[in-house]
Structure 1
Amino acid sequence: MAALIDAFIVRATLVPALMKLAGKANWWAPGWARRVHARAGLDESGGTLSTERERSLV
């Protein structure tokens, strides 16, 4: 019974609702990780290289 409650109530309703309420706070990263992310030229649209980075590689 606990597994059903966890799967259907907590994971299907509470987690998405809390993520919506928290907004950008869900995506917190330590400073070093943000710097590595920016240096690599990654954006938030699925881990692809940004257009500026792509142009410099071509």
Structure 2
Amino acid sequence: FEQILRNSLTTLPMGGGKGGSDFDPKGKSDNEVMRFCQSFMTELQRHVGADTDVPAGDI
């Protein structure tokens, strides 16, 4: 909620969502970690971009 309030003060048309994953690389092979990272970025690229999102300075 606080991020939405902060963003509203800028008068820019944006919300206050954040994202991440709960992937634990411990015990995973390098190949498994690479596959996760590539899959995560493939999905993430649909939601980030110059005209799509505004990165927050607090993360």
Shared fold, TM over 0.5: no
TM-score, normalised via structure 2 length: 0.29
Please identify the structure whose Cα radius of gyration is greater. 1
Greater relative contact order (Cα < 8 A, sep 6+) = 2
Instruction: Say which structure is richer in helix.
Output: 1
TM-score, normalised via structure 1 length: 0.30
